[in-house]
Amino acid sequence: MTPSLAPQDDAEYGKALADGWLPIREVSRRTGVNPVTLRAWERRYGLIVPHRTPKGHRLYSSEHLERIETVLTWLNRGVAVSQVKALLDKNKPAERIQHRTEGEWVPAQQQLISAIADLAERRLDDRFNQAMALYPPATLCGQLLMPLLRELELRWQGQPGTAAERAFFFGWLRSKLGARIYHNNRQLNGAPLLFINLSDAMLEPALWFTAWLASSADCPVEVFDWPLPPGELDPALERLGARGAVLYSSRPLNLDTLAGRVSTSRYVLLAGPCVEIHRSDLALHADLGELPLAASPLDAYRQLQSTKLL
């Protein structure tokens, strides 16, 4: 049962923290749900209603944390945030749900595609900002952004007149996520994580998704949009004071050249579709057999969390 709380002033707020109540920033750190989203869930849907001090401080209990994790389970199964409260109130166990619901994701995806097709930057930005206010980055990545990217790639295959759409979307994406990462970096201290595009593609969207996920977990991030020559990764990591590197490619790689790049004692993760392209060869390669691998942004995010780099 959630304990009662009736603080009278800031001293009582400090006592509440000492008694185990959590401020919103700590809840965000533990759950991966940013404070803006937690406040939106409270204000718009009544999903998580914290206790408030007279001065407006939000305080959360262990029961609140459990409820947030249940909300995340529903969201990651494709349920729209507007539908979650009814499921919570009915006490339906999310782990027993076998199907994924369309919810708001397909309409949201179509709205983004429509904005991209019209080269409508403000509309694209507004739709994305609305989604960011309601969903944690990992949920947005898995349920909206990666499916959106797959739909766009199908739309653009061999279709005349779509090059402008690709250039528009990629330019917007780099600016949007780059600005988020820059803002987060300004608020953070500590060693950064370096992300490097190993392919000859002008932009690897999923690399930016992965960097954004890491940045959203309060990790300073640096993104290099082109590869470093063999032998230059170690000096770059040293100069940045980096905690490690994520090397990303959606295209085939020269594994011997890759081995020359990752001859480092620092943590290096290989990510992207190149992992599936080369998985069997990587396992047998003398210098790459122990290299951590992640095929998708969410896989990479979980790998980085499991190694305590985030």
Do domains 10-95 and 105-179 share one topology? The answer is: no
Q: What angle do CA 164, 155, 158 make, to 5 degrees?
A: 75
> Which CATH superfamily does the domain covering 181-306 fall into?
Cobalamin-binding domain (3.40.50.280)
Distance CA 297, CA 288 (A): 21
What type of residue sits at position 10?
D
> What are the two backbone dihedrals, phi and then psi, of residue 18, each rounded to the nearest 5 degrees?
-65, -30
Alpha carbons 42 and 45: distance in angstroms, whole number: 6
What residues form DSSP beta bridges with 246?
Answer: 195, 269
pTM: 0.84
Query: 145-176 b/e with 16+ CB inside 10 Å = b?
Result: bbebbeebeeeeeeeeeeeebbebbbebbbeb
How many Å from the N-terminal Cα to the C-terminal Cα in the chain? Answer: 32
- Take residue 306 and report the two structure tokens written for it: 């499991």
Residue 78 backbone class (left: φ over 0; alpha: ψ -120 to 50; beta: rest)? left
The pairing of beta strand 193-197 with beta strand 244-248: parallel
Please state the domain extents for the chain. Answer: 10-95, 105-179, 181-306
How far apart (Å, rounded) are the C-alpha atoms in residues 62 and 56?
A: 20
Q: Which long-range contacts (CB under 8 A, 24 or more apart) does 283-291 make?
A: 285/255, 285/259, 287/259, 287/262, 287/263, 288/255, 288/258, 288/259, 288/262, 291/262
- Four-residue CA torsion sign, 142, 147, 153, 154: positive
Nearest of 144, 142, 137 to residue 180 by alpha carbon:
137
Q: What is the pLDDT along the chain (310 residues), one digit of tens a residue?
A: 444 444 455 676 677 777 778 999 899 988 989 899 999 999 999 999 998 877 788 999 999 999 999 999 998 888 889 889 888 887 655 544 444 455 678 899 999 999 999 999 999 999 999 999 999 999 999 999 999 999 999 999 978 889 999 999 999 999 999 999 999 999 999 999 999 999 988 899 999 999 999 999 999 999 999 999 888 999 999 999 999 999 999 999 999 999 888 876 678 999 999 999 999 999 999 889 889 999 999 999 999 999 888 8
Write down the CATH number for the domain with range 105-179: 1.10.1240
The rounded distance, in Å, linking the Cα atoms of 117 and 107 is 15
Query: Which amino acid is residue 31, in one-letter code?
Result: T
For the structural domain made of 10-95, what CATH number should be given? 1.10.1660.10
Distance of CA 42 to the CA centre of its chain: 22
Residue 248 contacts residue 206 (beta carbons within 8 Å): yes
pLDDT at 307: 86
Q: Which residue, chain included where needed, has tokens 């190993």?
A: 198
Helix 205-216 vs helix 297-306: crossing angle, to nearest 10: 40
Strands 58-60 and 293-294, by their bridges, are unpaired
